[in-house]
Each structure stands twice: as structure tokens, then as C-alpha cells.
Chains A and B, each alone.
Chain A
Amino acid sequence: MFSLISKWPLVRQIREQKDGTGLESMSDKTRAMHARIDDAQVARSICPYCGVGCGQLIYHKDGKLISIEGDPESPISQGNLCPKGAASYQLLTHSRRELKVKYRAPRATQWTEMSLDRAMDMVAERVWESRKRTFITQENGSTINHTTAICHLGGATLDNEENYLIKKLFTGGLGMVCVSNQARI
């Protein structure tokens, strides 16, 4: 009983002669509280929006995102993020994000769901067939080895490594020349 009363912040204030604005006013519950990132892991990342390239610290635990904050050590952003960068946790977790492959057949009025594997096989088949149909080896007596009937348009939030693989496969492997990017739009 005594210990219960002594935990009461008011009693502590009187006993310790403090004014109640310091640690003495904390309840056990408050004392037990901690930042949600305390025991989280952190990945060092970069904001995906504009070209400034602000540093981000991405806190995560047990495979779940916890929060995204500015990286104070970035020589560019020094911990700052703009409203977009500060909202990027929501970019990854909002409810309208698509999580399934969707397929629309010719003339269909609705999407149908499809497994990732099947969709990949079908896309590979479409590319294969279109390329076969449209590949040109010679034009005006000159070897050109290209197709102009399959095109690519990429955004500029792709990683360099991804762009590298796209160009390598599409141009180096498939002979596609109609390859473009947001950077020229």
C-alpha cells in the first residue's frame, strides 16, 4: 500500500520538493514509453521524388516499415525533407496501392487477376512473337537488325541499374530502337 502511494506523482513531488515539471511528474506508463524507432533497424536511402536527392532514414522492424525520416548526415539535405519526402511512408503503405497483377483481355470490360508467373510468360510470348514478325535485318542494302514495332517509355524514378538492364535487354538483346524516357519529355 505504501509503495503504491509513494508512486503517486504528487507524493513524490512533496517528498522530493520539486515543482512537478520535471521527471518526478512521470508515471510508470510514461516512464515505460519509448520512441517507436528505438529498437528498429534502419536502411539508408534516398528520397524518390525530385532530383535534389535528399537522404532518408527508413526505419523498419520485423519486415514492416515504421517510419521514414530525413538523414541529418546528408551533405545535401542535412536532415530536411519537403512535404513529399516526409509523406513517402504513405507512398509505400497507402490503401490504394496495387498489390496484384491484373490482366485485361482484348475487348474485355473488366480486369482479371493473374499469377505473376503466368503474366511474365505471356508477356515474354508477346514480345517474342512481335519481334519475330517485325524484325528487319537489312534495309537499303545495309545491316540494321532492329525492330520498330515494340517500344519502351520509362519514368525517371528508376534506378541506374534498372535502366542499364532495360537498355541491355531491349536494345542489346532484342534490337528495339524505340526506347525513350521521361528525361526527354
Chain B
Amino acid sequence: MPGLGTSFGRGGATTAQQDLANADCILIEGSSMAEAHPVGFRWVMKAKERGATIIHVDPRFSRTSALADIWIPIRAGSDIAFLGALVRHIIENELFFREYVVHYTNASCILRDDYGDPEDRADGYFSGWNEDARNYSMQSWQYKGEGLSFPERDLTLQDSQCVFQKLKRHFARYTPEMVEKVCGISPALFYKVADTLVKASGPDKTAAICYAVGWTQHSKGVQIIRTASILQLLLGNIGRPGGGILALRGHASIQGSTDIPTLYDILPGYLPMPRGGEEETLQQYLDAHTPKTGLWSNTPSYFISLLKAYYGKHATAENNFGYNWLPKLTADHSFFEYLYDMADGKMEGMFLIGQNSAVGAPNSRLQRKSMAKLKWFVIRDMVETEPARFWRDSAEIERGELKTEEIETEVFFFPAAGHAEKEGAFTNTQRLLQWREKAVDPPGDCRSDAWFIHQLALRLIGKARAARDPIDEPLRALDWWYPEDRFGEPKMEAVLAEINGWKTPVAAATDRGSIEGVLFGGVDREGNHHHEAQIDGYEELKNDGSTACGCWIYSGVFSRDGVNKANSRKSRDYLGHGWGFSWPSDRRIIYNRASARPGGEPWSERKKLVWWDSGNWTGIDVPDFKKDKPPDYEPQNQERGLDGQRGDAPFILHEDGLGWLYVPKGLQDGPMPTHYEPLESPVHNALYSRDTNPVVNWFTRAENRFAPPGDPRFPFVLTTYRLTEHHTGGGMSRFLSHLSELQPEMFVEVSPELDEPEWQNHPSSRGSVSFWRSGPVTRQCCQ
């Protein structure tokens, strides 16, 4: 998500799948969309029917390539070199969309004098590199002057310290000849892609880019997405119909799982988790995360409303709304880090809910062996997946590395309800919340994950209330108000109501008398007065405790009219307004202010979406802009919030309101993308003296070794891909006879040059895998 988030402001696809049909060109890279997102791919085919050119860049010729107009075989892991060369081509030949770039991106912003690019520095790093700590200090990457809100700009793009000139310099060596050397793509093919993209962009045309885990699962995935973002900003394709970047999420609610995260470093709505030390107090936290301008200037309202949703009446101004109860981060607590704690026996217990880490996570052998070090392990799934039985029939048991009788881990397996047996919303790949109605009760002991958490919460809160230990205060304060059904399952619409947000009883003391817009009677499970009317959107959130909101970006989904908009099912237009709810505020194509010229009129009749009309922004989509801010508005006196942004600044989450070609904050490994080889690349880096991304955490340990770049023992690249008939760890597909008949077993596709006996064993430095070689051999396969 940081790739899109740092470039544009929000970590989500900028467009909707249906809108691909309006594209004049679609570049699919890092994805086999026809195979992995087959029904979404129909919109690519619609575009093709209307005359769009479809380009597929992928090492493997797949169903997607077969349906594309142009297939470009690329060496795995060289995407930044390829996309970077497109950036260079567009800049060097003055092919960029100048008016868009000048007004809507930070091309014109002036950088500090001490900023240094790898091109200009002897060590080949960006300025700020600390060799001992192996990280960057990002101070020198800032704009000149103070902060990001009001940068100095040169609209002619000539100033040698402006972003545009730095970008030009940075990619100067990314030539078509370099692409041939690094990516294995001939200059002729390169120019074909470049010409197609350029011809399909401009006031009257737009091109879209689709990607999936073929990018994100790289160690430098964020920077690949960044390069695509730069390309789209230069071509003027963001916020416009038929344009944008569509991140293709692989699961029903990947997008939802980061919007309302179960991740260590963020809270709902991308609010950062507080850190120990420098963010010990609420004020320190707010100071660190509240910029002067842009939407994030409202961080105090979003954050305090979240604390009110978590701790209800116990969160008061006197106790800083319970800020102390929120745990503070002291390190990287991500999965890959805590896995080592598991391996070392420091982790006592684990919840694995609907995930298959023994198959779907890296180094599955280490995963399974680490599970045997847990005191207790709770797993919830519909079938007995590999993690559920690591203790009795894993490969480690077979090899004698683990012995069942010696494994101390207590294992609890809970059977889970399926999607038709519970209600709730998924957020799909285009930020669309879609509600599922419950059809039938789950069988046997099967229960929803909501039931499980709710029942666990009731037990733990009960224990905390019976105890007096101060460490249990957050449990005692936790606002667990949810009404439930006859099975003891919390009402999911009650949770959605909290996510949307409401006015709290404090605010209503003077404002009583109306029950309009109050959901669930405004009472908790004990019948006590609990909340007031729903809010209509995040604009209503306050920082004084008078509002509560579980996820500010979803606000509006279940507002004062009492309609669960995630469950609305009357689509009124091609963007699907009236069907589901697209965050934020039902905007289907975000940053859509950019679909109009700086003056407010559409770039062209063919590509009109949102425009300025008689004092308001209006159009086909919900404007992603302050409704009455004139296009020629200019802040006069360094105003705060949205008033501090110009009327031609469409990226309202960024302080400066601009699309970031260059990222002055938010990325650890550089403000502009740089081609490094993947961690275990069989070749060295042809572009820089350093092979791999310098800031990458290799997570190296004896049981988790990596082969260094160019290691002669591992000369081949093995990539994986999804088949239409199977899904992730297999728990939802391998057990289904219909799907297993269609795709009965794993296989490998090999270049004819590498053809070996039929059974193949593929070792890496961490383990090996055997396959049956079947299926078509891809003759054009690279490496």
C-alpha cells in the first residue's frame, strides 16, 4: 500500500474495474489478470472491443498474454528498469502532459540544496545514508524551506533543484539499450510500448495500469508501484476516466484488511499506531501526525473519535481519551519479525484465523517448526489445513525433525462459518464495500470469526472486571456494547454503525429530543444509553470526544438515513453508484479533481468526469474535492487544513495537494525508485554498484538463509502464479472436487533449454519442492 499511498495519498486502487472499459490502452504488469481475476478481466476485454491496445508485460506467456495485443517478456525482477526507461523516454522527448504535470504534480517543487541523487554521489546512494545503521536519514529529501505545505515552485520546471530536473537526472541512464541488457527486452519492443502508451494519453485519451502480487511480493514492490505512479502522473492519467492504477487484490478483502487493519503498525483508516518513547503522550502523538494542511490536518478528530469508539464513555478529556491504554510499538512487530520470536520460544500463543502460514507464507518449514515452540495455538478454518496438523503429519514429522510426542503445543481447532452463513462486508479491489446477507445458519460448531472474537471478548472482559490488576484497565474500559442474535453472534450492522461513527452521549446532552438517525435504539447490550445519531461523513468528526468513529475513511457507509449503503443494490450508472459504498464518500475514481483542467472545465468531452459549474464541483462521480472551492483559489495566509491547499491541487491528502513524482516523506529506501536486483537474483546489478536494495532487512538466520546475488549454485529464477481454479493456500479450493478435477496437481513450466527429466526437484537455500512437469512449455521463457 505505501506505493500508492505515498504517490497519491491513499493506499488503494485509484479507479474502478468497470472504468477500465474507458481506457485507450491498458498495461498489465506483475499480474496474469485473465487467470487470477477472470471476471474483472472482462472490462479489459470490453476496452479491447472498443479499440484499446492491451499490453501484457510478464516473463511467462499466459492466458492474459494470449488475449493482449502486445506481449513483452521481461526478466523477473527488472520492472523498475523497464518502467524507469519509459519515464526517461517520456521526459527526454518532451512527451509528458505538461499542463497536468505542472499544476497537479510536485514536478515544480524545489528541493533542498543538500539533496543528493545516486547519480551524483560517489557511493551510489541517496543523500542521508548511514552506513552503520544501514538506513537513511530523510532530512535532506525534504522540500526547500519549512515543511511540505507551501513549497517553493518553479512552474517552468527549469530550476536545477526542482523535482522535474532531479527526476530527469535520476533516470538518465535508464535507456532502451539498458532495458535490453537488464530486462531482456529489445529496443523495438520497448518503443512499441512507449509509443502506444504515449499515444493513448493526453486531454482526449487515457491509459490504465493494472498490477498484482507480481509486483507487491518483491522486496522492492513499493518502488515498482512508485515507478508506475510516476509514469501515470507524467502522462496525466490519474483521477481521470479510463486512467488510473488498479491494484488487483488477490483476496475478497485484502483492501479491507488494510483499511481496517489487523496489522501491527496502523489503526483503522491508516492512522499510525503510537510508538513508545517519542509518542508517549496523546499530545506528542498528535503533534507528530498532524500536518498543517490537507485532510490529515484533521488527525486529532479522526484519532480521538477512534479512541471514543474503542473505549466509549471511559475515554474522557481528563484521561486523554484512554491514549495510555493503547499499546505502544517498540520495534518492528511484523509477521516476519515475530516469527523469529516464535522460533526462539518467546511467543506463548498464536491465533491463526483463516490463514495458512504453513503453505502460504515464506519458508514454510520454519513456519511449521516454529509452531511447535508455542504453548498454545488457536486455528480457525473451514477444513483441517496444514497448520492445524503440523504436529502429526507435516514434512518435519516425516523427516524426524519434529516428534509428535515431544511437541508441547496445545492446539485448538475451531470450525469456521462460510461466507453464506454470516453477514458482513468485504472491501474489494476497487475500495468498494459490498455487504453479504446471511443465507443459512452455519452447521455444527461452525461459527463466524465475529462470534469467536465476541465470545472471547466477553470472557476476558468478565475476568478483567473480577480482577483489580491495573494492567486489565483497557479491558475494563473496552466498549463492548454489541447486541447479539440467538447464537450469541454480535449484530454485524451494529459493528458497521460504530465503524461509520456517531455522536456520543456527551454531545447530545444539550442536543436531545430527536431520535432520528439513531441506530439500535442508541442503547448497549444492557439497555443503557450508549450513542446518539449517526454522522454523515468524516467531515463531522470532532476532536473533543463528541463523536466516535471506528474508521474515518469508511464514514458515510451507514449514516443518518439509516441505510446500510454497503448493502445497496441499485446501480444507477456505469461507475456503480447505488451499488455498495466506495470509500471515501462513495467516490469511485479518486483524485477526480484532476479530470478537469486547472480552470475547472473537463480536459475533453470524451474524458469528462468532474467539473466546476456555477460555484460547485459536480459531475458523473462524487467530487473528491471540497465542493465549493473555486479552481483558482489560492491560500493567502498559510491557512490550515484544506484551505491551505490551492484550487488546482487534486491530491488532498498530501500537504501540498500534489501528486508526488518525488516522495519527500514516507519511504525508507529513497524518494525515487532505483533498480536493484531481487534479493536472490542470479545476476549482478548492471545499473548500480550495489546489487540489492541497501535498506532491505534480509531476516537472515541459519534456518532462513538467502543466496547472495549471482550465487552460482542457484542460477535459475522460479516464479509462482495463481491458476483460475485454485486459491491461495488451497483451503478454499483443493478440497472441492469440481476445482480439483479441473486442476488436479501442481506442475512446472520450463524453458525448452532447461528441459530435464519429468520429475523435477527444485532446491533453494531454504528447502526444496518437487513437481510433475506437464502442461505447455513456454518457449519464449526468460532466464
Contacts and interface: CB of A to CB of B under 8 A. Distances in A.
Interface of A: 41, 43-55, 58-60, 63-65, 68, 73-78, 80-88, 90-92, 94, 96-107, 109, 111, 116, 119-124, 126-128, 130-135, 137, 139-140, 142-185
A127 B375 CA distance: 11
Interface string B709-739: 0000000000000001111100011011111
Interface string B423-441: 1111111101111111111
Contacts of A175: 325, 327, 471, 474
A97 B383 contact: yes
A124 B452 CA distance: 11
A151 to B, nearest CB: 5
Contacts, number: 486
Contact of B327 (A41, A73, A124, A177): A177
B412 A139 contact: no
Nearest to A149: B348
A68 B272 CA distance: 40
Interface of A is mostly: mixed
A156 B39 contact: no
Contact of A58 (B381, B407, B439): B439
A68 B375 CA distance: 41
B2 to A, nearest CB: 11
Interface in B281-319: 309-311
Given A159-B450, A172-B325, A130 B376 contact: yes
A47 B434 CA distance: 10
Contacts of B78: none
A45 B18 contact: no
A98 B420 contact: no
Nearest to B392: A109
Contacts of A160: 253, 256, 259-260, 424-427, 433, 496, 499, 551, 554
Contacts of A147: 327
A68 B353 contact: no
Contact of A161 (B360, B475, B496, B575): B496
A98 B338 contact: no
B341 interface: yes
16 contacts: A49-B251, A51-B248, A51-B254, A75-B574, A98-B383, A100-B445, A104-B392, A104-B409, A120-B456, A152-B262, A152-B350, A153-B350, A162-B453, A165-B453, A174-B474, A183-B254
B463 interface: yes
A161 B739 contact: no
B355 interface: yes
B502 to A, nearest CB: 15
B445 A94 contact: no
B253 A158 contact: yes
Contacts of A135: 471
B165 interface: no
A134 B311 CA distance: 23
B328 A145 contact: yes
Given A82-B38, A121-B459, A145 B474 contact: yes
Interface string B320-362: 0000111111100111001001100011111111111100111
B622 interface: no
A148 B478 contact: no
A140 B388 CA distance: 38
B456 A123 contact: yes
B350 A161 contact: no
Given A94-B737, A98-B383, A126 B405 contact: no
B347 A150 contact: yes
A102 B413 contact: yes
B263 A184 contact: yes
Contact of B335 (A100, A124, A180): A180
A104 to B, nearest CB: 4
A101 B391 CA distance: 17
Given A109-B392, A164-B498, 12 more contacts: A48-B419, A50-B250, A75-B574, A80-B39, A106-B408, A107-B404, A153-B350, A159-B423, A160-B260, A161-B496, A179-B262, A181-B258
Interface in B727-761: 727-728, 732-733, 735-739, 742
B257 interface: yes
B440 A76 contact: no
Contacts of B352: 153
A165 B454 CA distance: 8
B42 interface: yes
Contact of B253 (A119, A139, A159): A159
Nearest to A101: B445
B203 interface: no
B483 interface: no
Contacts of A158: 253, 257, 262, 353-354, 449
Nearest to A64: B440
Contacts of B772: none
B161 interface: no
B261 A145 contact: no
